[in-house]
Amino acid sequence: MCPHANGDSTPNDPSQMVPVDLTNGTGTHSSSVAANGANGHSNGVNGHTNGANKSQEQRRNPYAPRASDFLSNISNFKIIESTLREGEQFANAFFDTKTKIAIAKALDAFGVEYIELTSPAASEQSRADCEAICKLGLKTKILTHIRCHMDDARIAVETGVDGVDVVIGTSSFLREFSHGKDMAYITKTAIEVIEYVKSKGIEVRFSSEDSFRSDLVDLLSIYQTVDKIGVNRVGIADTVGCANPRQVYDLVRTLRGVVKCDIEIHLHNDTGMAIANAYTALEAGATHIDTSVLGIGERVGITPLGGLVACLYAADPEYVKSKYNLSMLREIENLVAEAVEVNVPFSNPITGYCAFTHKAGIHAKAILNNPSTYEILKPEDFGLTRYVSIGHRLTGWNAVKSRVEQLGLKLTDDEIKDATAKIKELADVRTQSMDDVDSLLRVYHSGIQSGELAVGQKEALDRLLRKHKERSIANANGRDSSSSRPASPVGA
C-alpha cells in the first residue's frame, strides 16, 4: 500500500531518487544542464544567477523584496535564541547541565547573537546552570528572562549574564486572571527593575506579555516610559499565538514611531503563523526575533530557528550566510530533537527529509534545467543534497533522461519516452525503487542494442524484463531457474 510498507526502505533512504550534484563539473547531469543553457545556481552576489545564454548578466535574486523600504530590517536583525528558556517550557523538555551547555555551545558556533536562559529564580539548578553558561566565554551574549520583580532582578544580575529580559502581562486577560496588577503598578515596578538592572551596567529589555490583546494606549504609554529611562529593547509578545501578519505589521510599525530603542518580538505558533509573523515584524522595523530550535516551547512553541533562517535566506541569502554557520542547522536540530525526544517534522523547512526532493514530472524537468525554477533555497548552502524522485507514476521523461545519462546509457528521446511509459505502468502498481528503475533502463538499453527491442514493442519489453528477472533470481539462488515466480520488482 505504501512505498515503504515492507520496511525495506527508511524514510531517509534515497533509493528511489536521483541525487543531483550541481557543484561538481563532472557527470552527465552537468552536461545535460549545460545542453539546456543554464548552469543551475552560480555564486553570484544575489545567490541565483544563470549562465550560458546569459552568462555575463547577474540576474537579481528574484526572491528579494521588490521595493526598498526604510523601515525594513529584513537584512539587519539579531536572533535571540530561547531554546534554553522558552524551549524549557516545552512539555517534553528537561535539560540537565551537560545538555544545556552542549546546546549553548552549538548555538554559539551557529552564530546566534543572543542566548536566553531560564530565570535563575525558577530553581536552584536553573541558577547554577545560568552561572555555568555565563562562564563558558561564548561569543554570543547571554540573557536571562525574569518576571518584572525586584527579587528576580537581584538574583539575575548576580549570575554574570550580559543582559536581563523582563516581562509582565499587560493584557486585560492577564491582568484579571494572572497577576491582578493595574497599569500604574506595572509601570512603577518596571521603572524600578529597569533602573536597577541598568545600574549594574548590563542590557535590559522590557516586554509586555499577550501584547496583541493589550490596550494599545496602555502599551504605547509604558513602552514610551521605559524607552525614556533608557531601556535597551522593548519586547512585543504574542503569548497566545493569536496574531496574524498584518496585525503584527501594524503594531510593530506603530511602536517604531513611538520608541527609539530596539524592538524585539516573541511569537507563539498556535495557528502556524509564527515564522511569517516574525518576517513581517522585521519588515515593520523590529530588530530582534526570538526563536527556539524546532520552535519548542509552551504548547506548539514559537518561531523556529530553522524556519526563520529559511525565509530570511530566501530574501537575502548573502546576508544570512555571512551571519550564520548554516551547515550546522541540521546538527543543532538533531541535538535538540534528541534531548526532548521528538522527531524533526517531515515538513520542517530546510531539514524536513523531503525539503529538496522533486517528484512530479514537470517539476523534475525544470529542476534539471535550472534549480531556481522550483527552489528558493540552495541545499548546498545548508550542507544538504537535492534529489529528483523518478520511480513513480507522476514521473516524466526528462527526469528519466537525466538518469539514463548518469548511467552512461545511450537512448534516443523516443526510446526514453517509451521506457518512461513502462516505469509509469509499473509504478501504478507499486512505487519503483532506484534499483528497479536502473534495471529497467539497462534492460531497455541492451534490448535496443541487441535489436531485440524497438520503440512501442510492449510485449518484447515485457519478455526481456521477465528474462532479466529470472536471471536475477537464478543468480541470487546460485542455480539456473525458469520456473514461474511472483512478480519481481521490475517484473512485467
- Among positions 321-360, residues that touch a copy of itself (CB under 8 A) are 339-343, 345-349, 352-360
Site for a copy of itself in 183-202 (CB under 8 A): none
Q: Which is nearer to a copy of itself, 322 or 347 (CB)?
A: 347
User: Per-residue string for binding with a copy of itself, 380-419, x by CB under 8 A?
Assistant: -------x-x--xxx-------------------------
Binding mask 87-116 for a copy of itself (x = CB under 8 A): -xxxxxxx-x-xx-----------------
User: Can you tell me the distance from the alpha carbon of 268 to that of 72, in angstroms, rounded to the nearest whole number?
Assistant: 22
Site stretch for a copy of itself (CB under 8 A), options 369-377, 438-446, 464-472, 475-483: 369-377
- By CB under 8 A, what part of segment 151-180 binds a copy of itself? 169, 173-174, 176-179
Secondary structure letter of residue 372 according to DSSP: G
- The residue (of 96 and 435) whose beta carbon lies closer to a copy of itself is 96
Tell which positions 230-269 bind a copy of itself, by CB under 8 A: 239-242, 244-247, 249, 269
What's 211's DSSP letter? G
Return the DSSP state at 268: B
Cβ proximity of 427 and 437 under 8 Å: no
Report if residue 12 touches a copy of itself, rule: CB under 8 A.
no
Q: How far is the CB of 345 from a copy of itself (least distance, A)?
A: 3
Q: How far is the CB of 93 from a copy of itself (least distance, A)?
A: 8
Number of Cβ atoms within 10 Å of the Cβ of 57: 11
Distance, in Å, from the CA atom of 360 to the CA atom of 373, rounded to the nearest integer, reads 13
Instruction: Kindly state the helix (H) or strand (E) to which residue 168 belongs, with its residue range.
Output: strand 163-169
In the complex with a copy of itself, which residue's Cβ is closer, 425 or 480?
Answer: 425
Contact between 201 and 164 (Cβ < 8 Å): no
Distance CA 432, CA 15 (A): 9
Residues 112, 109: Cα–Cα separation, whole Å: 8
11 binds a copy of itself (CB under 8 A): yes
Torsion of CA 223, 228, 231, 236, to 10 degrees: 10
Nearest residue (CB) to a copy of itself, 392 versus 469: 392
Three-class SS of residue 389? strand
Mark 263-302 with x for binding to a copy of itself (rule: CB under 8 A) and - for no binding.
------xxxxx-xxx-xx--x----------xxx-xxxx-
The bridge status of strand 78-81 relative to strand 17-20 is unpaired
| Element housing 313 (H / E) | helix 305-315
Query: Considering only residues 38-57, where is the footprint of a copy of itself by CB under 8 A?
Result: 38
What is the C-alpha separation between 471 and 464, in angstroms, rounded? 10
Q: What would the grid cell of residue 219 be?
A: 502599551
- Radius of gyration of the chain from its Cα atoms, rounded to whole angstroms: 28
User: Of 24, 124, 139, 476, which one interacts with a copy of itself (CB under 8 A)?
Assistant: 124
Residue 77 CB, shortest distance to a copy of itself, in Å, is 14
Note whether 444 binds a copy of itself by CB under 8 A. Answer: no
Q: Is there binding between residue 126 and a copy of itself (CB under 8 A)?
A: yes
Catalytic choice (358, 363, 392, 468)? 363
Helices (H), 87-212: 97-110, 124-134, 150-157, 172-177, 183-199
Shortest distance (Å) from residue 449 CB to a copy of itself: 28
Helices and strands, counts by H and E, the chain: 17, 11
Q: Which is nearer to a copy of itself, 227 or 353 (CB)?
A: 353
Question: What is the size of the binding site for a copy of itself (CB under 8 A)?
Answer: 115
Q: Is 18 in the site for a copy of itself (CB under 8 A)?
A: no
**For the chain, what's the residue count?**
492
Closest CA to 180 of 170, 193, 165, 188: 170
- Tell me whether residue 363 is one of the annotated catalytic residues: yes
- Closest separation in Å from C-beta 36 to a copy of itself: 7
Per-residue binding letters, 131-150, with a copy of itself (x by CB under 8 A): ----------------x---
Positions marked catalytic: 363
